[in-house]
Amino acid sequence: MKIVRSLKTIKSRDKNCQVVRRRGKVYVINKKKRRYKARQA
């Protein structure tokens, strides 16, 4: 999982990426390509 400052660039890598908020942290998840996971720093 990548930890990045800006999730906008990570979200634009694939059309299946979704931005979700869990436990006060913002994540990008992708059900089709699981390597595109990220968390905001």
Instruction: Provide the pLDDT for residue 39.
Output: 97
- pLDDT tens column, 19-31: 999 999 999 999 9
Whole-model pTM: value is 0.81
Instruction: Provide the pLDDT for residue 31.
Output: 95
Domain of 31 in residue numbering reads as 2-40
| CA–CA distances in Å: residue 20 to residues 14, 30 | 15, 10
Contacts of 20 (CB under 8 A, 6+ apart): 26, 27, 28, 29
pLDDT (average), residues 6-19: 93
Q: What's the burial of 39, exposed, middle or buried (CB within 10 Å: 0-12/13-18/19+)? A: middle
Instruction: Provide the pLDDT for residue 16.
Output: 95
Q: Residue 15: pLDDT band by 50, 70, 90 thresholds? A: very high
Number of structural domains in the chain: 1
